[in-house]
């Protein structure tokens, strides 16, 4: 019986990682596919951000609005239903005959992705014992990096060979297949009574407010640039379309290696070093690569940008994880996810509204957004250092208080 439970738990973790990879990858792929939409559907290059921004914002809002009733649903049934609907809508994107239809269908797919992700992570917490959560949840989180390494380059190659619809057909169909696999292999999480989460005391805490503000700054700045990279590279820098997949593959591989190195340094007490290096170097490479270009190799600039951005994000999340008490962790992560998605969506929408294009489809105003990105990232980096100092001060105060209340004679 224990063996069966272990197998079911492993199956759930593998399925969750694949769901994560496909869900995030399908969101990431539309950004570098922008030029294909421009050529095939007549979409304005500056409007590509509406795809990613609208879907991300829809996911954040739907997750926040559905949080109150998602726990009332049976996890497995809810996950399978939402998973099938999310990827059926993604599959339907291949039928779009114009840019407006594509945007509407993709945003609807993102709307379902919000509660789907919440149910998936809740099921994981139900199924994974506390002692194993760190390693197994880290494995599930690998889906983000694999989305950049596998899904995005594959989507670009499929679109180049079979048209822009091909990635939507493949990944939408794969998602529906995953829903069928979940029906067969995903275990039913244990049912238990759940009390309502009180968010207001957590939201009032200065540490929580600071962490959410930092995440908002980072994600808003990041999505000022990322949705438009492929258009900028091809139309402004004349980078070959056939090499875009390789460029994103290099960025994804560098992100994996950089996140591992950053995690090792943080575990060894080097959090300040990681924050300073990632934030400072990221601002510098952004300015030198996009605001004040010096003619550096795009492979070098983009790979460093992706790697440093991954280290900065992962180090921020690791540091912020020390803020909530054990009984507040799920609520804190939900708040952090919602703020992250909203900030990313707003960044995409703002940049799409700000950018214009000239007669040959070159983006105008990208250098201004690079300056804004560098400024927001620098402010967020300083905020992380202040947050880290406040967390250490709270920990020291707690240790001192425990020492004062310890009975005499104990050690």
Going from the C-alpha of 141 to that of each of 9, 361, 410, the distances in angstroms are 16, 36, 42
Q: What are the residue ranges spanned by the domains of the chain?
A: 1-187, 198-411
pLDDT-wise least confident of 48-52, 121-125, 379-383: 121-125
DSSP states along 257-312: HHHHHHHHHHHTT-HHHHHHHHHHHHHHHHIIIIIS-----HHHHHHHHHHHHHHH
CB atoms near residue 96 (< 10 Å): 19
Q: Which residue has the higher pLDDT, 267 or 27?
A: 27
pLDDT digits (tens, 9 = 90+) for 202-254: 778 899 899 999 989 999 999 899 888 988 999 999 999 888 888 988 888 88
Candidates 1.20.1250.20, 3.30.360.10, 1.20.1300.10, 3.40.50.720; CATH matching 198-411:
1.20.1250.20
Looking at domain 1-187, its CATH class is: mainly alpha
246 contacts 286 by C-beta, under 8 angstroms: no
pLDDT digits (tens, 9 = 90+) for 301-347: 999 998 898 888 877 877 776 777 655 555 676 677 788 888 888 88
Half-sphere exposure of 289 (CA within 13 A, CB side): 23
pLDDT digits (tens, 9 = 90+) for 61-85: 887 777 667 767 788 898 999 999 9
pLDDT-wise least confident of 185-199, 230-244, 284-298: 185-199
Q: How far apart are CA 288 and CA 305, in angstroms?
A: 11
How is residue 164 annotated by DSSP?
T
What's the pLDDT score for residue 357? 87
Q: How far apart are CA 200 and CA 198, in angstroms?
A: 6
Q: Answer whether 0.75 is exceeded by the pTM.
A: no
β-bridge partners, 357? 363
What's the pLDDT score for residue 408? 45
Structural tokens at position 37:
């939409």
User: Of 153, 350, 360, 152, whose CA–CA distance to 237 is shortest?
Assistant: 360
Domain 1-187 matches domain 198-411 at the CATH topology level: yes
Question: Considering the chain, what is the average pLDDT of its residues?
Answer: 83
User: Of 80, 71, 86, whose CA–CA distance to 184 is shortest?
Assistant: 80
- In percent, how much of the chain has pLDDT > 90? 37
How is residue 189 annotated by DSSP?
P
Residue 407 confidence (pLDDT) above 60? no
| Mean pLDDT, rounded, for 2-18 | 77
Report residue 410's pLDDT band, with 50, 70 and 90 as the boundaries.
very low
């Amino acid at each position: 019986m224990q063996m069966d439970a272990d197998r079911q738990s492993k199956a759930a973790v593998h399925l969750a990682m694949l769901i994560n990879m496909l869900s995030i990858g399908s969101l990431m792929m539309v950004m570098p596919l922008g030029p294909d939409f421009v050529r095939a559907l007549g979409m304005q290059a500056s409007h590509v951000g509406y795809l990613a921004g609208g879907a991300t914002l829809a996911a954040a809002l739907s997750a926040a609005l559905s949080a109150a009733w998602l726990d009332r649903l049976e996890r497995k049934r809810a996950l399978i239903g939402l998973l099938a609907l999310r990827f059926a809508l993604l599959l339907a994107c291949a039928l779009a005959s114009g840019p407006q239809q594509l945007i509407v269908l993709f945003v609807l797919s993102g709307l379902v992705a919000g509660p789907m992700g919440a149910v998936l992570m809740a099921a994981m917490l139900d199924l994974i014992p506390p002692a194993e959560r760190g390693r197994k949840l880290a494995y599930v989180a690998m889906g983000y990096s694999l989305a950049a390494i596998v899904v995005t380059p594959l989507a670009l190659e499929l679109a180049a060979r079979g048209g822009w619809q091909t990635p939507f057909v493949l990944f939408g169909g794969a998602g529906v297949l995953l829903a069928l696999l979940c029906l067969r292999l995903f275990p039913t999480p244990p049912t238990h009574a759940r009390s309502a989460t009180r968010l207001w005391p957590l939201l009032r805490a200065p540490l929580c407010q600071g962490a959410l503000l930092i995440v908002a700054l980072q994600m808003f700045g990041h999505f000022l640039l990322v949705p438009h990279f492929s258009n900028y590279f091809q139309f402004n820098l004349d980078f070959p379309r056939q090499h875009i997949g390789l460029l994103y593959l290099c960025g994804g591989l560098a992100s994996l290696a950089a996140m591992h190195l950053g995690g090792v340094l943080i575990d060894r007490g080097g959090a300040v070093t990681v924050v300073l290096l990632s934030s400072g170097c990221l601002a510098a490479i952004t300015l030198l690569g996009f605001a004040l270009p010096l003619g550096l190799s795009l492979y070098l600039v983009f790979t460093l940008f992706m790697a440093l951005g991954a280290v900065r994000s992962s180090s921020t999340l690791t540091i912020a994880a020390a803020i909530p008490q054990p009984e507040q962790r799920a609520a804190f992560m939900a708040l952090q996810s919602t703020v992250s998605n909203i900030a990313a969506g707003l960044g995409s929408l703002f940049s799409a509204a700000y950018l214009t294009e000239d007669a040959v489809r070159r983006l105008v105003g990208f250098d201004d957004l690079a300056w804004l990105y560098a400024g927001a990232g620098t402010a967020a980096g300083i905020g992380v250092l202040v947050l880290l100092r406040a967390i250490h001060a709270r920990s020291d105060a707690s240790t001192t208080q425990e020492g004062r209340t310890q009975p005499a004679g104990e050690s």
